[in-house]
Amino acid sequence: MNKQITYTDVYSQLEKLKSQNLIISDEAFAISALSRYGYSNLIKSYREPYIIRYNDSIYYKDGVTFEQILSLFILDKNLRNSVMAAMLDLEEFIKEAAADVISKSFSTASAKYLNYRNYANKKRRKKRFTLSETLEKIKKALYSDKDPIHHYMSKYGDVPPWILFKGVYFTTIVNFVGFFKTPEQNEMISHLYHDHYDFIYDDSMKKLMMDTLFICIDYRNMSAHGGRIYNYQSRNTLRKDEIFHADYGLMTSGFSELLFILSLLSYTTPFDRLNNALQYELNRHCSLFPDDSEYLSKVLNIDIVKKDFVYYKASGSKYHTIPSCSGMQDAIQIDIEEAKSLGLAPCKRCCN
């Protein structure tokens, strides 16, 4: 018989953590955090770097605090939100690029740009990922009752691809791009990669494009479902040996791999958004808990260099330590040394 899962309140959870050698310096704060985020989401998901397992029991390493686990949770939570925002940016870009490619090649009329013969039918293990099923999913969106698709169908009797794709799932669009024939593949690649990369073989650009898109979908889905991101390894594989020269020495994995493939795209916003969020969170967490630098450096496969970040407005002459100081909106994050080199002066209100 399976062991029954019992309910425990936050006070019992707190006592359990204390009995396991976790330092609780502010019990009221810990109870508030446990109530807000949940024991499973906060503790079970982020305790692994800080515990020792012995005889089916768990004990926290000496010196580990509740605030330390909470800070790692916050780091991952903010990374997850940034991944989701970055993937939405990328999704919009990919849909516009795909719409432009098929409009130029086939027409803006749905009967032509969704014609089966325009695409390369390829074997798929699952029926729902075949060309015919993919086209059917896209065609169903033509009859959506939501604007702007419904507006175009009502007014023009048809929907151009740049409008239709707004109502189609990102995964379906990526599968669709995978069925492009060579001319459309090359055109799509030119949208995504304006620069020429000497370390990538010309005939491997499609592999790079498709691997990038499927890895991004995986991270998007993990973020949407609240999964842990900072140490996540995508189920999809970047075919490094087939794409890059053997002597390139590519050693990225996990989150650093996601950053790497995004850095190659001509559209830089997804990379910039994620990289800035990662640097900010690492700087914040490791400033509070410097002993975690080695662990995070290893799991993220990056060198952690502490930086002091400040914020400024494009039209302003001051830099701030608080992004919302003086009612500032859309603040730009920048390293303090770079801010000084731009001639920005410290804000007297928040930089004391």
The tens digit of pLDDT for each residue in 167-223 reads: 999 999 999 999 999 999 999 999 999 765 555 556 788 999 999 999 999 999 999
pLDDT at 93: 97
Portion of the chain with pLDDT greater than 70, in percent: 94
pLDDT at 295: 94
pLDDT at 327: 77
pLDDT at 250: 59
Res. 96: pLDDT tops 60: yes
288 Cβ partners below 8 Å, 6+ apart?
67, 68, 71
Res. 336: pLDDT tops 90: no
- Of 5-9, 143-147, 149-153, give the lowest mean pLDDT range: 5-9
Q: Are 102 and 184 in contact (CB under 8 A)?
A: yes
Q: What is the mean pLDDT of the chain?
A: 89
pLDDT digits (tens, 9 = 90+) for 234-260: 999 888 888 876 555 556 789 999 999
Q: Say which residue, 179 or 302, is predicted with more confidence.
A: 179
pLDDT at 248: 52
pLDDT at 323: 78
DSSP 213-235: HHHHHHHHHHHHTT---TT---S
Q: Say which residue, 281 or 125, is predicted with more confidence.
A: 281
Q: Say which residue, 352 or 58, is predicted with more confidence.
A: 58
Q: Are 181 and 118 in contact (CB under 8 A)?
A: yes
Q: What is the mean pLDDT of residues 31-59?
A: 94
3-state SS, 153-173, equals HHHHCCCCHHHHHHHCCHHHH
pLDDT at 309: 74
pLDDT at 16: 94
